[in-house]
Amino acid sequence: MLHLVLYEPEIPQNTGNMMRTCMATGSVLHLIKPLGFSLDEQHLKRAGMDYVKELEYHVYENWDEFVSQHPSENYYYMTRYGKKAPSQFDFTACEGDIYLVLGKESTGIPKEILSQHLDRCMRLPMVANARSLNLSNCAAIIIYEVLRQLDYPGLSGVEVIKGEDWLEK
């Protein structure tokens, strides 16, 4: 199972977008407090649309509570300080659940956490003078990189709602 972990997210629209991505990919979302918004805000609902009803998500008081409930060797951290691209990790070698951790929009994941896991820190390649990409874009990129490596388990490769042959009609 694939998990997206948001460490103290601040912007409701980003979290709403990530909720939609998680629902569409069958990923579980984990939100670590404090949150920069309430979960019933209009922006969050609008960005997450009606997908939120079908999303599995959990909220934790802090990082320690989350880690104590989800012990794993498969934590990967998205940070501008990472030195390897997501494609340089072999997610097919992971046994058990995979946890992708992204930090808050303003400051990212604390150095205290990252410095203990330097071999699991990744960075999306970009031009040298770009500080970062939008957090929800980063989440979508890394989720789909993991799913690509795993050959998109359980996901449909064709349109189901309007029908697989909708374009041909």
Residue numbers belonging to the annotated binding site: 78, 103, 124, 132
- Rounded to the nearest 10 degrees, what angle do helices 135-149 and 12-25 cross at? 10
User: Amino acid identity, residue 126?
Assistant: M
The CA-CA-CA angle for residues 110, 113, 117, to 5°, reads 135
Could you tell me where the beta strands, DSSP code E, fall in the chain? Answer: 2-7, 28-32, 57-60, 75-78, 98-102, 121-122
* β-pair partners for 77: 101, 121
**Residue pointed to by tokens 């794993």:** 72
- Residues making up the annotated binding site for S-adenosyl-L-methionine are 78, 103, 124, 132
CB atoms within 10 A of CB 116: 9
